[in-house]
Amino acid sequence: MQIPLVDYLVLGDEPHLQANECTNCGARFFGRRNACAHCGHREFKPVRVSDTGTLRTFSIVYRAAPTIPTPYVSAIVLTDDGTSVRSNLINIEPDPAKISLGMKVKLDTYVVGTDDDGQEAVAFGYAPA
């Protein structure tokens, strides 16, 4: 059994992210919202976020909480449908010479932990496409 680490990660045959889209202006948000931060409208609809995108910016993190392995790459991805996603860049060496702005990336999932009953917690990241 697997459970997503965040509510907006949908697991299954085709793991994907699901955003809440404002029905007035189309702004997208992850997680629960009472009102749109862009236009103030209060109605949203769930939408599937594109699995592919482009690396917009990144930072290599060398210091983190004691249990978090470093270094890792923190990134912002602009998906092909225009959604901005904050995530980690995975399956690539955390070396600025190997990472380039504008590189194509694809959503991927990975197990971050397993409890005593064998239930796996699953996170997402973006890997080079």
Conformational region of residue 82, where left means phi above 0, alpha means psi within -120 to 50, and beta covers everything else? left
CA separation, residue 118 to residues 76, 90, 114, 115 (Å):
32, 24, 6, 5
CA separation, residue 49 to residues 25, 98, 102 (Å):
16, 26, 19
Return the SS3 of 97. coil
How many Cβ atoms from other residues are within 10 Å of residue 87's Cβ?
Answer: 19
Q: Are 9 and 19 in contact (CB under 8 A)?
A: no
Domain that holds residue 26: 2-128
pLDDT tens digits in sequence order for the chain, 129 residues long:
999 999 999 999 999 999 999 999 999 999 989 999 999 999 999 999 999 999 999 999 999 999 889 999 999 999 999 999 999 999 999 999 999 999 999 999 999 999 999 999 999 999 999
Query: Which secondary structure element, helix H or strand E, spans residue 72, and what is its range?
Result: strand 72-79
Domain tally, the chain: 1
The answer, as to whether pTM is greater than 0.85, is yes
Instruction: For residue 49, give every residue at least 6 positions away whose Cβ sits within 8 Å of its Cβ, in sequence order, or none.
Output: 16, 17, 18, 19, 28, 79, 81, 83, 85
